[in-house]
């Protein structure tokens, strides 16, 4: 019976006779030596790669820890500066009140400061908490700056007297913007969930909000994209800070 490779006998003879018999007999361990060298080189390369990977991971972890520490330090410094600003603004208000002298002008100033968010405020109200969809993929299940703006506009329309998001007081000059993957309120980056504290009549605020376009939009988001939203009445009075970015831009004397 003819072998399947019989037609290739010439090629087989050439391959088998590529080395002279004398050479093969003189170097019986040549193949094994080359194999050992190849294995040694492979082991060396793998060892170098592993060492470099481990070293790189350690260096990356150190850099990450350093960055986290720097961010925490910056946040602590921001908190300190915010407290200093609040103290200085309170001192300025006291000096302004002393300069006014007139009780009527002083009452007018206090009413204006309360309306524009220049002073802290306390009172009853509701708390609205919104957040990204669980296991959100891409941007489909994330809270956007426009979503927060619609929510806030609906709350103002419903009769809110004062609003703060994650402790940041909102005024007519407070921007809500997207900055990369984060949302900034008054140019400060916030992280979800977003806690919206609203001072107003708790007996009517939620019902009136449910009739606004902002509420309809959020009902659409929760039903179709899985965003979360809860509304609850606050058991205690809410304490909202003053807007730290509030500054005097124009002043006149009567």
pLDDT digits (tens, 9 = 90+) for 165-190: 999 999 888 899 998 878 999 888 99
C-alpha closest to that of 120 among 154, 167, 75: 167
**Residue owning tokens 């005097």:** 248
Higher pLDDT, 237 or 93: 237
Does pTM top 0.75 for this prediction?
A: no
DSSP 170: P
Task: Determine the pLDDT at residue 88.
Answer: 82
Give the rounded percent of residues in the chain with a pLDDT score beyond 90: 39
Helix ranges restricted to H, 21-100: 21-26, 30-100
Task: Determine the pLDDT at residue 91.
Answer: 83
Are 106 and 100 in contact, with CB atoms under 8 Å apart? Answer: yes
Long-range CB contact pairs, 9-14, < 8 A, 24+: none
The sign one gets for the Cα dihedral 174, 218, 197, 154 is positive
Task: Determine the pLDDT at residue 6.
Answer: 47
Are 129 and 196 in contact, with CB atoms under 8 Å apart? Answer: yes
Residue 9: its H or E element: helix 9-16
* Counts of helices then strands in the chain (DSSP H, E): 7, 10
C-alpha closest to that of 199 among 160, 225, 251, 249: 160
C-alpha closest to that of 194 among 156, 152, 153, 234: 152
Is residue 244 left, alpha or beta, with left meaning phi > 0 and alpha meaning psi from -120 to 50?
Answer: alpha
Confidence label for 18 from pLDDT (cuts 50, 70 and 90): very low
Across all residues in the chain, what is the average pLDDT? 81
Across the range 37-44, mean pLDDT stands at: 78
């Amino acid at each position: 019976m003819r072998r399947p490779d019989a037609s290739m006998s010439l090629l087989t003879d050439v391959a088998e006779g590529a080395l002279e018999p004398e050479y093969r007999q003189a170097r019986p361990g040549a193949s094994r030596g080359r194999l050992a060298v190849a294995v040694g080189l492979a082991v060396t390369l793998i060892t170098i790669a592993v060492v470099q990977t481990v070293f790189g991971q350690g260096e990356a972890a150190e850099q990450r820890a350093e960055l986290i520490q720097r961010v925490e330090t910056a946040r602590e410094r921001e908190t300190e500066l915010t407290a200093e600003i609040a103290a200085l603004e309170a001192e300025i208000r006291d000096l302004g009140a002393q300069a006014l002298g007139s009780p009527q002008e002083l009452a007018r100033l206090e009413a204006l400061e309360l309306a524009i968010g220049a002073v802290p405020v306390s009172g009853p109200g509701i708390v609205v908490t919104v957040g990204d969809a669980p296991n959100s993929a891409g941007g489909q299940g994330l809270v956007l700056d426009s979503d927060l703006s619609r929510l806030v506009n609906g709350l103002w329309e419903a009769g809110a007297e004062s609003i703060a998001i994650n402790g940041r007081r909102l005024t007519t000059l407070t921007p809500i913007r997207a900055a990369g993957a984060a949302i900034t309120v008054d140019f400060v980056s916030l992280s979800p969930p977003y806690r919206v504290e609203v001072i107003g009549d708790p007996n009517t605020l939620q019902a009136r909000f449910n009739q606004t376009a902002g509420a309809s939009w959020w009902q659409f988001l929760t039903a179709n994209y899985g965003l979360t939203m809860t509304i609850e009445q606050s058991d205690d009075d809410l304490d909202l800070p003053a807007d730290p970015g509030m500054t005097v831009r124009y002043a006149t004397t009567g």
